[in-house]
Amino acid sequence: MELNADFNARCAVHSSSMPWIGSPIPGVDRRMLDRLGDEVARATSIVRYAPNSQFSPHVHTGGEEFFVLQGVFQDEHGDFPAGTYIRNPPQSSHTPGSEPGCIIFVKLWQFDQKDRTHSRIDTNKMKFLRDGDHTGVEVMPLFKDDREDVVLERWQQGSSVNLTSEKGLELLVLEGSFEEAGEIFEPGSWLRLPAGSASSAVAGTAGARVWIKRDHLGETPLPPGG
């Protein structure tokens, strides 16, 4: 399966207007944003766990990165409320589920296969830092290595934000809104800009809070085993 698989083109998806699609696990549904592969795939998705739903134990051969959007995500490592950012590297394992139900933004098979760094960050307990280079922008660093840079950003009302990135960029709106290329992005909207692109966004009347990953599209993404 290929979905939004031209990584040399701008891609925008407004997930809140999409239907939920069932997964092989009862009670777990998805809104697919991009995908290379079938059930084992390089994938970016919004995933919804119904109350008391659970996956069987499994190994993340290609790694898993996610941000909890609503509810509480649970596995044998703990209970993770909305606002938690987690990286489970290749060869890690767990039994994910949720007694109260939850919605997460998740990326699969997008790690360096040698990466073994676990990360579990409750962003509710962290502070935004003023971005000295950009007026009206505050930043909360989440992860950075030679391949990518992951942050939360908070944009003040009406701020003009540079989205230019030499090696590509993608973002998900968590709160508020912004306009980019004449298009309005609201909570649940996802934007991917290719390597070498140049763009900017203007935050809406309530500002915006966004999850952003930069510099990870310098090489053309491949499906698992590709």
Structure-model confidence comparison of residues 38 and 167, the more confident one: 167
**pLDDT tens sequence across 144-192:** 999 999 999 999 999 999 998 899 999 999 999 999 999 999 999 999 9
Angle at the Cα of 108 (from 106 to 114), degrees rounded to 5? Answer: 130
**pLDDT tens sequence across 71-83:** 999 999 899 999 9
Torsion sign, CA atoms 46, 52, 58, 64: positive
Strand partners, 47: 30, 104
User: Can you tell me the distance from the alpha carbon of 208 to that of 178, in angstroms, rounded to the nearest whole number?
Assistant: 7
- Domains for the chain: give ranges and CATH numbers: 18-123 (2.60.120.10), 126-214 (2.60.120.10)
Residue 66 near residue 49, CB atoms below 8 Å: no
Residue 208 near residue 163, CB atoms below 8 Å: no
Q: What pTM, to 2 d.p., does this model score?
A: 0.96
Model pLDDT, residue 21? 95
Provide the terminal-to-terminal Cα distance of the chain, rounded to the nearest Å.
14
Residue 54 near residue 97, CB atoms below 8 Å: yes
User: Can you tell me the distance from the alpha carbon of 159 to that of 177, in angstroms, rounded to the nearest whole number?
Assistant: 11
Structure-model confidence comparison of residues 100 and 220, the more confident one: 100
